[in-house]
A and B are shown apart, each in its own frame.
Chain A
Amino acid sequence: MPNSNEKRLTRIQDSYTLGYLVEDVKVQYKNALDVSLDEIVIDSKEGDISSVPRWLAQKLSESGIVTIQDKDVAAYVSRTLNLERIARAHDLSGINADFYIRVNDYLSSLDGRDRERIIVSLNSFVVSRIEKIVKLAATSTLTPAIRDKLSVEERELYDLIHESTAAFKKRVIRKFD
C-alpha cells in the first residue's frame, strides 16, 4: 500500500511525463501521409519535416512512417552526467526538472548493452546527488536557486529530508523560555 508521499510523487511524475509527451518534436516523413482524425490533421509528402507531439511522433516512428529528429539525447545525458562529476563537493550541478523522465524514455529506446552502460553511470550520478541533497536539505529550506538545479523527484526528496531533519532537531533540542 503506497504511502501519501509516494502517491504525491507518482502524481507529480505523471504530470511531468504528460508534459514531456505532449511536447512538440520535429519528424521527417519517410512516406506521404494523409490523416484526419479528430483534431489531428496531417497532410505530408515524403521528405517533409513538421512538428508533432512526442507521443504521436513515437507512434508514427514505431509504424515506420517518420524518423524523429529530436535533440541529441545521448549527448544531453552524457553532458549532464559529466557536469555532476566535475561539480564541487557541496555544489549540485543543474539538471532539468524532467531529467529522469527523459533519461528513462531514452533508456527504453536502447538495446541491452548501451542501456547497461548508461545505468552504471547513472548509479554514481544519483548517489552523488543524494549525498549533496541530504547535506543541503539538513541546513536550509529549498531556495529558488537550489530548486532550479533539481529534478521534480529530487525536489520532493529535498523537502522530505528538510522536514524530517527540522522535526528531528526540534525533538532532540528542547526550547526553553
Chain B
Amino acid sequence: MTEQQTSASLANELERFLRGFKDNLGNYKYFERINHMMALGSTSVVIDYIDFDTFTPDLAKEITHRPDDMLEAFNSAVLTILNEIHPDYAEEIIDRVKVRISNYSVQRTLRDINAEVIDKLIGVWGMVVRSSEVKPLAKRIGYRCMNCQTINEAQLKGLLLKKPIKCINCAEKELEMDPENSIFTDFQLVRLQELPEDLPAGQLPHYVEVTVMGDLVDQCRPGDRIMLTGIVRIEQEQISPQIRTSLFRLRMEGNNIEYLGGGTGNKDSRTIERLTIRSEDERQIISVSSKPDAYDKLIASFAPHVYGHEVIKESILLLIVGSLTKKLGDGSTRRGDMNVFLVGDPGTAKSEMLKFAAKIAPRGLYTSGRGSTAAGLTAAVIRDKSGIMMLEAGAVVLGDQGLVCIDEFDKMRPEDRSALHEVMEQQTCSVAKGGIVATLNARTSILSAANPMYGKYDPFKNITENVNLPIPLLTRFDLIFVVRDTPEREKDSRVASHILEIHRDTNRAAQPAIDTELLSKYLAYAKQIEPSLSNEAMDIIKDYYMKMRNVEAEGMITVTPRQLEGLVRLATARARLLLKDRVEADDAERAIYLVQRMLETAGMDVNTGKVDLGVLHGKPHSEVSKLKLFIEIFNALAGEDKNDVSERNFIDELINTGKFTEDDAKTYLRKAMQNGQIFERKAGFYAKA
C-alpha cells in the first residue's frame, strides 16, 4: 500500500513538472509537447534533463538510482495529462507511452560500465556497429484457460517471460496463448562500440549490447555515432537451457538516442562529428580563413612532419572537405565525395599522410589492405547468439560522410578489393545474405596508397603496368599521384635536415601553422559550407575540358566527362576549404592545375610522352594505333588469299614503318598469338585465325 502511495505521489509530482515547467519564452514546454503528440502521431515525450534538474533537483537526482520507478511514474503522468486533453488518443497508445530523457548529464564511457551501475540510468557514447532485424517483443502475453476461458497474464521481466503453470481460477494446466489479449512492441538489438578516437593504445574496443523498443527501433543504423541514455541490465549466462552459470552479461535498455554533433534525437540534424564547434572556435576558424595566406597555411598544417608533397597534401585536404552531393529531381544523386590514390616508391611518407588524414578528418578511419576483407570493408551479416540475423557495418559504412584511408591497397586480395567498386561510384553498399537484403549508405571519400608492382616505380612503363590494380577501380579515382623517390641533392639535403630536426626536437620541428585540433574543427566547419558555382568558374572548367578534348585530332582521349565532374568537385572543395559561398575563377584554375599535375604523371603515355587518359583505361592511344598498324600490315602481307606470312618478312615490315623496334615487333607478335588473333601454321609462318 505504501509503495502504491509512493508511486502515485511520485507521478503527481512529475505531473506538476510536466504541467508547470516554462521555457525561456514563457511557454509551457512539456504540456505543449504532450498536446502535440496526437498531431505528430507520437508515442513518446522527450524530457530535457537540465529542465528537470532545474525544476526539481531532488527528483532529478533520483532518476539515476531509481530509473524504473521514475520512468514508470513519468509515463503515467504523461498519460494522465493526455487523457485529459485527448482521451481517444490516450486510450489508443496507453501501453506505448514512453518518456525519454535527453541531455542526460550522468555520462560514462563504455569502458566504465561495470557492476556498480547495474539498474542505474546512465548515458554512454559510442558507434553503432551492429543492428538486428526488428522483431515483435511480447510485453504481456495472455494465456486462455481451456477449461474456464479465464485469461492468465504473464508479464515480461528483462527479456524473459514465464508462462503460468496453471489457471489462476480453476487450476487447469492446459493454457493457450491468446494474441488478442497480448501486447507486443517492436524490438531490436544494437551493438554500441567505443569510438575509435577514444580507444586507448593497445586495447581492444569495448562494446555493449543495447535493446531498443517501440519508436526507438530503427532510429540508429550501423555507423551512427550516438549518445545513448539507458538503464544497465544484467542477464544470466546459460551453458545449456537447463544450466545457468553465476556469470552475468551486461546489457543496456535504451531509453533515448541522440546523435552526436546533432540536435536532440532528430536524425536530420545529425551532423558530421562529436566534435562540437563552439562560437569561440568559429571565430578562430573565420579568422584563419580570412587571412590572405590561409590556403598555404592550411596545406602547411597538414602532416607538418612530412616534408614537401604540397600538391598531395592539398589534394588530401580537398578530399576531406569534399564537394556537395547533388540530389537530382528524379531522386538520383551526383556524388560529391572524391577519391584519391597515391602510388609510389616505399618510404615516401604515403602511410604517414594517410594516418594523419584519418586523424584529422571528421569520421576518419584508417585500415590496411593486407588485413581487410570484403565483409570487413563493407558490411557483414552475422547470426547473433539469440539466432537473430544482424547486420554488422564495415569500414566504409562506419566512415559514411567521412573518410576511409586504405593503405597497402595493392596487397588486398582482388575479391576483397572488388567490393569497393560500388562504394566508390554509387556511394552505397549492398548486402544480400542470410535473408537480409539491404543497401547501406557509404558516402565516404576513399584515400588509398599502394606500392608499385616490382617495388619501385618504373618511369618507362605506364601506370597500369606499374600498379597491380584493375582498371575499372583505377578510373574511379578523381586524382592519382605518382610519388617517386628520385635522388636530388638539394631536396634530399632538406628532407634529411627536416627528419633529423624532428628527432632532435619533436615539438619545434613539426609545429603546424594551424593547431591540429583547430584544423580538425576547421575541416568539419568547412564541410558545412555550400558554395554555388559561379559563371566564371564554369567557363574556365568548360574551356579547359574543350581544349583537352581536342588535343589530338586522331581521337586521343585526354579527359572524359568523369574528369569534368571531378574538376567541379575539386573546385567546389577548394571554395569550401576557404569558406567561400561561391566557387570562383581561382578555385577552378587550381582544380585544373591539380588535374593537370595528375595527368602529367599518372596520365602520361610513356611511349609518346603525351598526356593520354587511355593510359588509365588500360590502353593508351599509341598502343591502340600500333595494334591497328600491326593488323593492317599482317593483312596486307597475307593478301586476299590469306597466305601464310613469314615471321622475318613481317618483322622487317613492321620495323620499316618506324613505329616498331625489333623487340616491339616480337612482343606484339607474341601477344597476338596469345590473344588468338594469329597462329603459327608452320615454324616461322603465321596465318590469321
Query: Given A88-B92, A90-B86, A175-B26 in contact, is the A145-B36 Cβ separation under 8 Å?
Result: no
Distance (whole angstroms) from the CB of A107 to the closest CB of chain B:
31
Bound CA span A175–B26, Å: 8
Q: Helix, strand, loop or mixed for chain A's interface?
A: loop
A-B pairs under 8 A by CB, number: 29
Q: Which residues of B contact A136 (CB under 8 A)?
A: 38-39
CB pair A90–B40 under 8 Å, yes or no, is no
In this complex, what residue of B is CB-closest to A89?
A: B88
Which residues 78-95 of B have a CB within 8 angstroms of A?
85-86, 88-89, 92
Distance (whole angstroms) from the CB of A169 to the closest CB of chain B:
11
CB pair A143–B38 under 8 Å, yes or no, is no
Distance (whole angstroms) from the CB of A128 to the closest CB of chain B:
14
In this complex, what residue of A is CB-closest to B35?
A: A139
Query: Contact flags (1/0) for A108-146 with B, using CB distance below 8 Å?
Result: 000000000000000000000000000110011001011
Distance (whole angstroms) from the CB of B268 to the closest CB of chain A:
11
Bound CA span A20–B515, Å: 60
CB pair B26–A143 under 8 Å, yes or no, is no
Bound CA span A177–B89, Å: 33
Confirm or deny: B241 has a beta carbon within 8 angstroms of a beta carbon on chain A: no
Bound CA span A139–B38, Å: 8
Q: Which residues of A contact B39 (CB under 8 A)?
A: 136, 139-140, 143, 146
Confirm or deny: A105 has a beta carbon within 8 angstroms of a beta carbon on chain B: no
Query: Given A91-B41, A145-B41, A175-B26 in contact, is the A139-B88 Cβ separation under 8 Å?
Result: no
CB pair B26–A90 under 8 Å, yes or no, is no
Which residues 75-109 of A have a CB within 8 angstroms of B?
88-91
Query: Given A88-B92, A90-B86 in contact, is the A139-B36 Cβ separation under 8 Å?
Result: yes
Bound CA span A23–B125, Å: 52
Bound CA span A91–B92, Å: 11
Bound CA span A140–B89, Å: 15
Distance (whole angstroms) from the CB of A141 to the closest CB of chain B:
9
Q: Return the contact of A143 from the options B35, B40, B85 (Cβ within 8 A).
A: B40
Bound CA span A145–B41, Å: 10
CB pair B38–A135 under 8 Å, yes or no, is yes
Query: Contact flags (1/0) for B30-54 with A, using CB distance below 8 Å?
Result: 0000011011110000000000000
Bound CA span A140–B92, Å: 19
Q: Return the contact of A140 from the options B26, B40, B85, B88 (Cβ within 8 A).
A: B40
Q: Which residues of A contact B92 (CB under 8 A)?
A: 88, 90
Q: Which residues of A contact B89 (CB under 8 A)?
A: 90
Bound CA span A145–B40, Å: 8
Bound CA span A143–B85, Å: 20
Which residues 132-177 of A have a CB within 8 angstroms of B?
135-136, 139-140, 143, 145-146, 175, 177
Bound CA span A89–B41, Å: 12
Which residues 123-168 of B have a CB within 8 angstroms of A?
none
Most buried by B among A91, A140, A145, A177: A140
Q: Which residues of B contact A175 (CB under 8 A)?
A: 26
Using a CB–CB distance below 8 Å, which chain A residues touch chain B? 88-91, 135-136, 139-140, 143, 145-146, 175, 177
User: What 7 A-B pairs have minimum CB-CB distances, sorted nearest first?
Assistant: A140-B39, A136-B39, A140-B36, A89-B88, A139-B35, A139-B39, A90-B89
Given contacts A136-B38, A139-B36, A140-B39, 17 further A-B contacts (CB under 8 A): A88-B92, A90-B86, A90-B88, A90-B89, A90-B92, A91-B41, A135-B38, A136-B39, A139-B38, A139-B85, A139-B86, A140-B35, A143-B39, A143-B40, A145-B40, A146-B39, A175-B26
Q: Can you offer 22 A-B residue contacts whose CB atoms are under 8 A?
A: A88-B92, A89-B88, A90-B38, A90-B86, A90-B88, A90-B89, A90-B92, A91-B41, A135-B86, A136-B38, A139-B35, A139-B38, A139-B86, A140-B35, A140-B36, A140-B39, A143-B40, A145-B40, A145-B41, A146-B39, A175-B26, A177-B26
